[in-house]
Chains A and B, each alone.
Chain A
């Protein structure tokens, strides 16, 4: 149980284009999903917290207009990187938290974004 999928696993896009990443909880409902960014051999950096049916809460320094998050259902959250630039190239990982009382987060397999 507690499986989270992400799509796509890898994406290469040209500078200036937008990219959408999907995160799905496959066998549970997730009232809260999280989006992280990770640099090589570094820890996970929380970008935003996404609650179903409400606006995402962004961490300090994360541009909400650049990283659009939509949590339209209890099993799906999307992250759209708008007008991507090479410095946005990174490993993006989502996680999902079952229910409102759980602290455990279950992670997706990640999406490797390369902006050329």
Chain B
């Protein structure tokens, strides 16, 4: 089945630094989504990407849908302590009758030191 490789697995950064994480796949996706999960909570949708090459920002977050449709990255600029959490990428299906099932990356655990 489809798999997503998300990297890095974890990051330890100082407050104010920029962060970059990415996901790659051997299969194409029609949608790329980025979620953030706080401890003990459900994931929250940060950014949704629908077109190859699309670059979208949401405040300090910027994400891009790779031109090959097999990868995406998420950047966080000027990190703050509340950015701490687990970030997941998710790929939306390229067709078929999957009812919109998402394929998730393994997650990137972000720690921000004040």
Contacts and interface: CB of A to CB of B under 8 A. Distances in A.
Interface stretch (A12-20, A82-90, A101-109): A101-109
A93 B90 CA distance: 16
Nearest to A45: B104
A115 to B, nearest CB: 18
A43 B42 contact: no
B69 to A, nearest CB: 13
A105 B102 contact: yes
Contact of B40 (A4, A103, A105, A112): A112
Nearest to A105: B102
Contacts of B62: none
Contacts of A93: 42-43
B42 A110 contact: yes
Interface stretch (B14-22, B52-60, B72-80, B105-113): B105-113
Interface in A35-81: 41-44, 46, 49, 51, 57
B42 A97 contact: no
Given A43-B88, A93-B42, A105 B100 contact: yes
Interface residues of B, number: 25
B88 A46 contact: no
A32 interface: yes
B100 A103 contact: yes
A44 B104 contact: yes
21 contacts: A4-B42, A32-B99, A32-B100, A41-B109, A42-B107, A43-B88, A43-B104, A43-B105, A43-B107, A44-B43, A49-B101, A93-B43, A103-B48, A104-B48, A105-B90, A105-B102, A107-B42, A109-B41, A109-B42, A110-B42, A112-B40
Which 8 pairs between the two chains have the least Cβ-Cβ distance? A103-B92, A107-B42, A103-B31, A110-B42, A107-B43, A109-B42, A43-B104, A93-B42
Interface of B: 30-31, 33, 35, 40-45, 48, 86, 88, 90, 92-93, 99-102, 104-107, 109
Given A42-B107, A109-B41, 14 more contacts: A6-B42, A32-B100, A34-B101, A41-B107, A42-B106, A43-B104, A57-B99, A91-B40, A93-B43, A97-B99, A102-B100, A103-B33, A104-B31, A107-B45
